């Protein structure tokens, strides 16, 4: 019997969002879980199926037209699920993959042609870090020739020890889920101030995603997250992205409705033009739609 826990599926009955999104809105962080694809034995959780069809149903309810698939740790460096999903959606999809240092230049070029735009380095989940940290600058130099970036997920308090690495990299970086900050610490906490400093320098993008992972409860309201969002947007509005984090893996108690998640954006960015920048313009730049 496996001791790897099975996490919850997403809330399947996504309600229709009351927030009107601009044409071409992008969800910059989703996963595909499909039992047709083999799971890595070196994983931290087992997800129920959440397929491309399921994702498209959810997106139709909240007004999303384009997507960035992000490789989850449970598939290791086998990117088949998200590459197949991207192929189904043609130019409406991009992907962030996981790979190791054995990937050839030819393979990287092939992935670029398919719509891959970066490499994920997940320091927070078991199986999500196939590249030794000391070799990340070497990886950055290789993918930089393709115009890719590196995407990081890490515990918020770890930002201090990672700052020198981030600043040394030759490519842009994106950071998931508000940098995994504890929202109860507010904007003045040292880790969040470090994140703002990085963002202000212009080489760092942040996904305004997963308020249910920031220490303030699985379900709304997530009022403590609002000041963090405002501070990030005010610092570099051209470096902000929105993402659902669907199907919300590695959660075991309750799941949010994805309509609640997109409606948070109205609290974070009350101006419709700012929401258009976050949902359309900024993703167009980073992911080259």
- Number of folded domains that form the chain: 1
Total-model pTM: 0.97
Within a domain: residue 172? yes
CB 40 within 8 A of CB 80: no
Within a domain: residue 1? no
Query: What is the predicted pLDDT for the residue at 125?
Result: 79
The label of the residue with tokens 């230049």 reads 105
Task: Cite the active site residues.
Answer: 245
* The pLDDT of residue 1 is above 60: no
- Convert the pLDDT of each residue in 167-199 to its tens digit: 999 999 999 999 999 999 999 999 999 999 999
Structure tokens given for 283: 């993703």
- Convert the pLDDT of each residue in 214-256 to its tens digit: 999 999 999 999 999 999 999 999 999 999 999 999 999 999 9
Q: What is the CATH number of the domain that holds 153?
A: 3.20.20.140
Cα separation, 196 vs 231, in Å, equals 8
> Of the candidates 257, 261, 226, 224, which has an alpha carbon nearest to the alpha carbon of residue 242?
261
Within a domain: residue 13? no
What is the rounded average pLDDT of the residues 59-65? 99
Within a domain: residue 21? no
Q: Across the beta sheet with 93-97, what order do the strands follow?
A: 26-30, 66-70, 93-97, 116-122, 149-153, 173-175, 204-208, 240-242
- Convert the pLDDT of each residue in 85-128 to its tens digit: 999 998 999 999 999 999 999 999 999 999 999 999 999 877 77
Within a domain: residue 195? yes
Within a domain: residue 163? yes
Cα separation, 133 vs 100, in Å, equals 11
Within a domain: residue 19? no
Query: What is the predicted pLDDT for the residue at 102?
Result: 95
Within a domain: residue 3? no
Range of the structural domain that residue 229 is part of? 26-287
CA dihedral 14, 22, 197, 119 (to 10 degrees): 70
């Amino acid at each position: 019997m496996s001791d790897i826990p099975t996490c919850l599926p997403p809330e399947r009955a996504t309600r229709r969002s009351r927030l009107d999104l601009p044409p071409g809105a992008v969800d910059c962080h989703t996963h595909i879980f499909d039992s047709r694809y083999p799971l890595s034995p070196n994983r931290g959780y087992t997800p129920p199926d959440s397929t491309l069809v399921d994702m498209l149903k959810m997106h139709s309810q909240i007004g999303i037209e384009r997507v960035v698939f992000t490789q989850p740790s449970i598939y290791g460096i086998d990117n088949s699920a998200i590459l197949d999903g991207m192929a189904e959606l043609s130019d409406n999809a991009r992907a962030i993959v996981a790979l190791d240092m054995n990937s050839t230049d030819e393979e990287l070029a092939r992935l670029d042609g398919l719509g891959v735009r970066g490499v994920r380095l997940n320091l927070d989940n078991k199986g999500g870090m196939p590249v030794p940290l000391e070799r990340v600058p070497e990886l950055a130099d290789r993918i930089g020739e393709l115009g890719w970036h590196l995407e990081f997920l890490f515990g918020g308090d770890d930002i201090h020890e990672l700052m020198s690495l981030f600043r040394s990299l030759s490519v842009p970086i994106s950071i998931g889920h508000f940098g995994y900050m504890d929202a109860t610490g507010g904007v003045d906490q040292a880790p969040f101030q470090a994140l703002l400093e990085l963002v202000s320098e212009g080489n760092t993008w942040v996904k305004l995603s997963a308020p249910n992972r920031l220490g303030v409860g699985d379900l709304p309201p997530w009022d403590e997250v609002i000041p963090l969002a405002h501070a990030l947007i005010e610092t570099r509005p051209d470096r902000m992205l929105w993402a659902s984090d669907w199907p919300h893996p590695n959660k075991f108690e309750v799941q949010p409705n994805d309509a609640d998640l997109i409606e948070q954006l109205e609290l974070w960015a009350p101006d419709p033009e700012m929401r258009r920048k976050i949902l359309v313009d900024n993703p167009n730049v980073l992911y080259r739609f």
